[in-house]
Chain A
């Protein structure tokens, strides 16, 4: 039962890092395609395009942060050995990882699409860069909320 709890917690950490990372990779890929198209016609827009392309990358970082948080909670980072965990505690940690895993994955893809549209916008109106950043940043809000939810849930779980 102790091993099941640890396994569940590790699966949660893996999902948080993997799903949000996949989402970020797809989002950055979509925005990158758009950036490449704009820069083919106007290479001077590299700076603006890069900022917008990078925006969907944050979800991957949030997922990694939660994975570190879980590993630290389990005592797997310091080399002191894993803490004892029953299946119920393992399931709680698994559940705490889900918000950032799911929201990070989906929001990164949609943020990538919004970034791609913003990149197309600055190709025609470079002066609207500020507005172009705000639009994909709105999607970011929900990734941040999911990150906070995961952190708060993890902080509330007692282990060891």
Chain B
């Protein structure tokens, strides 16, 4: 099947993406029941009746979308790029659980945090990691997991292991993208690495981290070298946008300058970076057969899911609706 069919079908599916009016209505709901009633009128309805919580229902919708796309997208690797972070997230959850168990903590395992959205069956992954029979795992996980164990034995630092996992995740994503040989997609993965590095830089700056110690937090493979991201920590944050003016992603940091509230600023920067990752693919919308449309659709769907979670948690917890509205992504 060609991408002409694929993109046309995605255009049809885009009609079911929830719009800003829906989210506005959702935020105005009196309580969670009202909000779920509104959600029951959308494509999420089928999952709401089957799932124990709205969180699981949202996951089920994304998983169903991935499976549907798998049936007609010519290059399945496009879906792999989207789903790989979930695989690596599951590895993190499982390893951190085992680290805690081996450290003697009674409540180590957190199976509830495992996501079904990865490419590897979660039961198989759990069994592989718990029995340490990881030889069959793809995307370099077979080498990574023993390496994580060794690192943990040496450092006893879950954060160090987590950084190693992230590093390998981006390397795996970049490899899948390069093998696909679609320049837009490879470029997007590089921008994603940049975005993650900048997100880390913002957090580290808030924690007054020194640039010499921060290099380990940044991943290679992006368009901005980890050294250059680390150097930002020596500079006042107001100058970051100017320092990164030679890159497209620098403008996304404007949100940081406009806000003095740290919590809001962090979430605004995070939102801006997520928005940027969608924006860089948006030119594909004007092509009737660009493969990048697949990734764009998945990211839009993921943003929709994130917005739904924010809105529903806000309504369920009776939080300030204006605060909730500010957390919603616009994409």
A residues touching B (Cβ–Cβ < 8 Å)?
30, 33-38, 40-42, 113, 116-117, 119-120, 123-124
Contacts and interface: CB of A to CB of B under 8 A. Distances in A.
A24 B13 CA distance: 29
B14 A38 contact: no
Contacts of B288: 34, 113, 116-117, 120
Contacts of B10: 37
B15 A120 contact: no
A119 B12 CA distance: 10
Contact of B11 (A30, A33, A38, A113): A38
A34 B4 contact: yes
Contacts of A123: 8, 11-12, 15
Contacts of A124: 11, 14-15
A35 to B, nearest CB: 7
Nearest to B286: A117
A116 B8 contact: yes
Contacts of A41: 9, 12-13, 15
B29 interface: no
Contacts of A42: 12, 15
Given A113-B288, A116-B288, A120-B288, A37 B4 contact: yes
A119 B8 CA distance: 8
B6 interface: yes
A40 B14 contact: no
Interface of chain A, helix or strand or loop or mixed?
helix
B20 to A, nearest CB: 16
Most buried by A among B1, B4, B12, B15: B4
Contacts of A35: 8
Contacts of A113: 288
B6 A37 contact: yes
B7 interface: yes
B5 interface: yes
A40 B2 contact: no
Given A37-B10, A123-B11, 17 more contacts: A33-B2, A33-B5, A33-B8, A34-B8, A34-B288, A35-B8, A37-B4, A37-B7, A37-B8, A37-B12, A38-B8, A38-B9, A38-B12, A116-B288, A116-B289, A117-B288, A123-B8
Given A113-B288, A117-B288, A37 B9 contact: yes
Contacts of B6: 37
B64 to A, nearest CB: 14
Contacts of A38: 8-9, 11-12
Most buried by A among B7, B8, B9, B11: B8
A34 B15 contact: no
Interface in B1-52: 1-2, 4-15
Contacts of B13: 41
Nearest to A112: B4
A126 B2 CA distance: 24
B250 to A, nearest CB: 32
A136 B58 CA distance: 40
A32 to B, nearest CB: 9
Contacts of A30: 4
| Closest A-B pairs by Cβ, 10 of them | A41-B12, A37-B8, A37-B9, A34-B8, A33-B4, A117-B288, A37-B5, A33-B5, A120-B11, A123-B11
8 contacts: A37-B5, A37-B11, A37-B12, A38-B9, A41-B15, A42-B15, A119-B8, A123-B8
A42 B14 CA distance: 12
Most buried by B among A36, A37, A124: A37
Nearest to A31: B4
